[in-house]
Structure 1
Amino acid sequence: MKKTISLSVFAVASALVLSASAMAGDAANGEKIFKKKCKTCHVVEAGKKPKATGPNLAGFLTRPSGTSDYKHSKKLAAAAITWNEETLDQWLQNPRKMVKGSRMSFKLKKEKDRQDVIAYLMTIGS
């Protein structure tokens, strides 16, 4: 009986891991989308000066929102968002809905595109 329970728990856990992996975005495709739609305003290379229209995203996962060397809106800095998959998805759906007064107006409407870009952003590090 113990072996049956152990195998059942293992099977359920494996299924959950597989379904979570299946929901994850494609970082390679996310990089392509980023270069096509986001690179106009953002850079991702550590130490590179941010563009006038958007901050450098290198290391953004390790700092609260609005705290880079870019001139962020006061409301974004005050929001002190901790960036993760969930907050990035919400942000990319509609930044100005998430933080009224945000300077970013661009939206990624397709869920697949958002998930892919988020997967890519999670790889850029600091």
Structure 2
Amino acid sequence: MKMHCLIAAMLVAASALPALADGDAKAGATVFKKCAACHTATEPTNRVGPSLLGVVGRPVATFDKYRYSEAMKAFGAGKVWDEALLTEYLPSPRALVPGTIMSFAGLKKPQDIANLIAYLKDPAAAQ
């Protein structure tokens, strides 16, 4: 009987955690407008910042022909941009990567972050 209580408690606790994959790509396309001055997400073209096309699942600081800051290269050593890392990074890029050249202050709403990640995972889903 105690095992059932423990399992129930674990399920309740897990349901209180923010879901990473519950974003809406269409809403994420709107959030991406905050990023679009410096990044693209639908073409492999660098702007002030690197293209974010295919960023989810890509090793950090590795997009071709973009010159990353030393801070971002050091932060990215051995890391891959997955949903968890993006969720940690997007609220305050400069706090997570001191010395980065990215000037974006971050996204404060967890739902905006989830929506943006959904969009970055599949920009075509926003159509």
- Fold shared, TM-score > 0.5 on shorter chain: yes
What aligned pairs does 1:65-104 form with structure 2 within 5 A after superposition?
A: 65-68=60-63, 69-80=65-76, 81-104=79-102
Larger Rg: 1
Can you give the 5+ residue segments of structure 2 that lack an aligned partner in the other structure? 1-10
In structure 2, the CA distance between the partners of 1:116 and 1:100, relative to structure 1 (3 Å rule), is same
Q: Is the 8 A contact 1:59 1:124 kept in 2?
A: no
Native 8 Å contact 1:27 1:116 kept in 2: yes
Q: What is residue 43 of structure 1 aligned with on the other side?
A: 40
CA RMSD of aligned residues (A): 2.7
**Amino acid in the other structure paired with 1:63:** R
User: Normalising by structure 1, what TM-score?
Assistant: 0.72
Tell whether the 8 Å contact from 2:54 to 2:121 is kept in structure 1 after alignment.
no
Deviations 1:77-96 (Å, cap 9, x if unpaired)? Answer: 12223111111011111111
The TM-score normalised by the length of structure 2 is 0.71
41 and 21 in structure 1: CA distance in 2 versus 1, 3 angstrom threshold = same
| Change over 3 Å in CA distance of 1:75–1:21 after alignment to 2 | closer
| Aligned residue in 2 for 1:5 | none
| Separation in structure 2 between the aligned mates of residue 23 and residue 118 of structure 1, nearest angstrom | 8
Which residues in structure 2 correspond to 1:1-126 (within 5 Å)? 24-34=22-32, 36-47=33-44, 49-51=45-47, 53-68=48-63, 69-80=65-76, 81-106=79-104, 107-124=106-123
Query: What number of residue pairs does the alignment pair up?
Result: 107
Tell me which stretches of 4 or more aligned residues in structure 1 moved more than 3 Å.
Answer: 19-23
Q: Tell me how far 1:54 sits from its aligned partner.
A: 0.8
Per-residue deviation, 1:22 = 9.4
**Deviation per CA, 1:19-39, whole angstroms, max 9, x where unpaired?**
9879611111001111x2111
Tell me which of the two structures has the higher relative contact order, counting C-alpha pairs closer than 8 angstroms and 6 or more residues apart: 2
State whether residues 27 and 116 of structure 2, in contact with CA within 8 Å, keep that contact through their aligned partners in structure 1.
yes
Listed as ranges, the gaps of 5+ residues in structure 1 are: 1-12
Which residue identity lines up with residue 115 of structure 1 in the other structure? A
